[in-house]
Structure 1
Amino acid sequence: MSRLDSMLRRLTAQRDGLNWAAEQVRNLAGDVLDIGLGNGRTYDHLRETLPDRRVRVIDRVLQCHPSCVPPEADFLQGEARPMLDKLAQERSPIILAHYDLGFGVKEKDIAEAAALSPAIAAVMAQGGIIVSGQPLVGFDELDGPQGIPPGRYLFYQVR
């Protein structure tokens, strides 16, 4: 499979997974969290898909497309762990989180996701859904929507 085809499959799975997760949490009270802003595509999709929700964002640097800059109050700039700890202190329940951090080195990405899992759990509302590009630990894994190949994207629920 070409890298282009692989990217298209990943982005389609990401979109379909986020849409599915948004439906799962529609009746829960709480905010949305995008962990890893990047150029802002996912953040833009989340704010369009869930326009009545506050969408918080964590990233090391703000380098997204100008149309995707989150409001200053919703952007937590810095390393993920301290920003998650800060968010946990606010006690604003997160009903949907998207985890998309990575270095591009599989072993390193998996280790970071596992290390950050407890901090992610600390901000999540009971029943909340996490959509992740990396395996997380300590959550109940869900099947997610039909049509997404196993392992392409991962879906978790907080109990």
Structure 2
Amino acid sequence: MSRLDSVIRRLTAQRAGLNWAAEQLQGTPGDVLELGLGNGRTYDHLRTVTPDRRIWVIDRNLNCHPDCVPPQDDFLQGDADAMLSKLAEAGPQVILAHYDLGTGVAADNRVLAEGLAPLVAKVMLPGGLILSDQALPGFEQLPEPCDIPKGRYNFYRVA
């Protein structure tokens, strides 16, 4: 599979998964967390499918498209571990988290995800959903919803 085909497959799974999660959580209170803003495409999509929810965004840098800049009060700029700890000070408040952090090096991404998973758990409400392109230990893995190919994206429910 070419790299172009792979990214199209990943983004298609990501969009379908976010749409599914937003639908599953309709009527359930809680905020959204976007871990890794990047260009802001996923954040922009989350604004569309969860319009009545506060969306927290964590990233080291604000390098997104100008149309995708989160409100200053919702953007936690810095290393993910420190920003998750800061967000956790208010207690669990997130019902949907999208984990999209990575370095481009698979082994490094695994170490990062393993280290951040316990911190993500601290901000999550019971019954919340986490979507991730990385495996996150410590959460109940769900089968892929919709027509998402097995193993293309990870779906978790918080106990």
Shorter-chain-normalised TM-score: which range? Answer: over 0.9
Tell me by how many angstroms 1:27 deviates: 2.2
TM-score (norm 2): 0.98
Identity of matched residues, %: 62
Matched residue of 1:87: which SS?
A: helix
Tell me by how many angstroms 1:41 deviates: 0.3
Equivalent residues in 2 for 1:1-159, closer than 5 Å: 1-91=1-91, 93-159=93-159
Tell me by how many angstroms 1:92 deviates: 5.3
- Partner letter of residue 107 of structure 2? E
- Partner letter of residue 79 of structure 1? D
- Unaligned regions of 5+ residues in structure 1, if any? none
Tell me by how many angstroms 1:2 deviates: 1.5
Tell me by how many angstroms 1:149 deviates: 1.2
Larger deviation, residues 88-97 vs 52-61: 88-97
CA distance in 2, matches of 1:83, 1:25: 25
Root mean square deviation of aligned Cα? 0.8
Q: Deviation per CA, 1:102-151, whole angstroms, max 9, x where unpaired?
A: 01010110111011000000000000000000000110000131311111
CA contact 2:40–2:65 (8 Å) conserved in 1: yes
Matched residue of 1:131: which SS?
A: strand
CA distance in 2, matches of 1:57, 1:152: 23
- Partner letter of residue 54 of structure 1? R
What number of residue pairs does the alignment pair up?
159
Tell me by how many angstroms 1:56 deviates: 0.7
- Partner letter of residue 2 of structure 1? S
- Unaligned regions of 5+ residues in structure 2, if any? none
CA contact 1:31–1:92 (8 Å) conserved in 2: no
CA distance in 2, matches of 1:37, 1:75: 9
Tell me by how many angstroms 1:3 deviates: 1.3
- Partner letter of residue 136 of structure 2? L
Q: Deviation per CA, 1:28-62, whole angstroms, max 9, x where unpaired?
A: 11100000000000000001111000011000000
CA distance in 2, matches of 1:61, 1:109: 18
- Partner letter of residue 5 of structure 1? D
**Runs of 4+ in structure 1 displaced over 3 angstroms?**
none
